[in-house]
């Protein structure tokens, strides 16, 4: 069963979401504080699925700002290239999906302290 992870903007905890469907909700209720202000995290699990829309609205509106707000990834987005942020983010996702997971998880934990 695929697992998706959502990061909470309010309390920074990670909520796991299990689904058999191919459709992934834009956000889920946070398991810690109940906030609906959650954002889907880039997760290796997601890439075991065929991605139909490369830059989905969800990705551009939710995941991308979240990634851009991460200190570790800031340098990448500030690099002066002709590449779009979306493209950069996707590249990072492809290359180091698992590492991003770790970075985000660590960040979320640090934010909680």
- 10 binding Zn ion? (CB under 5 A): yes
**Long-range CB contacts (< 8 A, 24+ apart) of 98-105?**
98/44, 100/42, 100/67, 100/73, 101/5, 101/41, 101/42, 101/43, 101/44, 103/70, 103/72, 103/73, 104/7, 104/41, 104/42, 104/66, 104/70, 105/14
Taking CB under 5 A as the criterion, which residues in 25-64 touch Zn ion?
A: 30, 32-33, 35
Residue 109 Cβ, how far from Zn ion at the closest point, in Å? 13
**Binding to Zn ion by residue 11, rule CB under 5 A?**
yes
Q: Select the span of 5-13, 49-57, 63-71, 77-85 touching Zn ion (CB under 5 A).
A: 5-13
- Measured from the CB atom, the residue of 39 and 73 that comes closer to Zn ion is 39
């Amino acid at each position: 069963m695929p697992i998706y992870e959502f990061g909470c903007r309010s309390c920074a905890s990670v909520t796991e979401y299990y689904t058999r469907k191919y459709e992934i909700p834009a956000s889920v209720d946070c398991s810690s504080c109940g906030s609906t202000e959650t954002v889907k995290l880039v997760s290796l699990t997601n890439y075991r699925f065929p991605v139909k829309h490369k830059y989905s609205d969800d990705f551009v509106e939710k995941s991308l700002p979240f990634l851009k707000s991460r200190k570790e990834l800031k340098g990448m987005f500030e690099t002066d290239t002709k590449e779009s942020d979306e493209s950069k983010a996707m590249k990072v996702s492809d290359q180091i999906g698992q590492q991003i997971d770790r970075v985000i998880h660590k960040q979320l934990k640090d934010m909680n302290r």
